Amino acid sequence: MSPIQYPYLDTPAPGATLEVAPGVRWLSMPLPFQLDHINLWLIGDTIVDTGIGDERTRALWKKVFETNHSEIRRIILTHYHPDHAGNAAWLCKRFGAELWTTQAEYLTAHAVLSASAGYTTEAVLDVFRKNGLDAERSAGMAGRGNRYAELVPEFPFSYRRIIEGDRVKIGAREWRAFIGHGHAPEHLSLYCEALNVVIAGDMLLSTISTNVSVWSIDPEGDPLRLFLESIARYRELPEDVLVLPSHGKPFRGAHARVAQLEAHHQAHFRKLLDELKDDARSAGELLALLFRRPLDAHQTFFAMGEAIAHLHYLYYAGRLKRASGADGIMRYATR
């Protein structure tokens, strides 16, 4: 028997919901990316995550409200990314609801929306160029404007803060907050012991690995270490906990999935260490090693951040050395 079990074979149709645990309803909203949908959750008078802020998604929300919920009093966000936060302000205004999330996610949403504090495409590309992104691919990603603002047209100006260990009454039951790092600054997950259900957001996905990237506001960061430490905490939950991820299908087998993700990143580390035995290379030169498929501009944007994150992990672990060359590009080699 596979260590990962999927109790629900079919994703709810857009505008429909499916009860996956008593009082917990699953719905799916479309996304205009290769990752083409996001899972959202309705629990009593609370919505967890909101989809991107476009008319198509809002029309589907209205369809949901016609048949499921007429009163929403609270919006909870797992993190600030646009597929999660895009409709937060619209929903709060529509229902007079409160926004609840962690402080770092709330403040980051505003910083990215206003393109402040280094949250600009050009700032990111400057980091990528210093890590070997070639001129052609860099030019293909330049001038994108504030894509976040297109998907999150506005964001609430107040919120209720959730911190590690908080116990939040959602629906008829208590949910415990625990915080993860690496994918987002202060990513919120929620565990209900009574139901043996965890809303995992993007921290623990069923079939794909979460993007973990180095970005311009923390260009020397080690987000992959933070991420691996964070997902290990899912081993504190029961092995048979029902995991509600933001992408893919709900599943059981959290411990096995953590092990799979750890093995995935360890395989990347082995590839890098083997490749860097003889020649120093930059992150840009290593994209084809880590990503064995053609990458469009959108995918390259995230692949570069992730390649740098893997190199930083090995560098801070003392397994690689690095130096900036006369061309200003950072290159890595084994010690």
Instruction: List the pLDDT tens digit at each of the 335 positions of the chain.
Output: 679 999 998 999 988 999 999 999 999 999 987 778 999 999 999 999 999 999 999 999 999 998 876 689 999 999 999 999 999 999 999 999 999 999 999 999 999 999 998 899 999 999 999 999 999 888 888 877 899 999 999 999 999 999 999 999 999 999 999 999 999 999 999 999 999 999 999 999 999 999 999 999 999 999 999 999 999 999 999 999 999 999 999 999 999 999 999 999 999 999 999 999 989 999 999 999 999 888 888 889 999 999 999 999 999 999 999 999 999 999 999 97
pLDDT at 69: 63
What is the distance between the terminal CA atoms of the chain, rounded to a whole angstrom? 42
pLDDT at 67: 82
Contact 290, 306 (CB under 8 A): yes
Angle between helices 297-316 and 223-231 (to 10 degrees): 80
- Strand order of the β-sheet with 197-201 is 167-170, 173-180, 187-192, 197-201, 242-245, 251-252
DSSP string, 66-93: HHT-S---EEE-S--SHHHHTTHHHHHH
242 in helix, strand or coil? strand
Phi-psi region of 282 (alpha: psi -120 to 50; beta: other; left: phi over 0): beta
pLDDT at 204: 98
pLDDT at 32: 86
Report the number of secondary-structure helices (H) and strands (E) in the chain: 11, 15
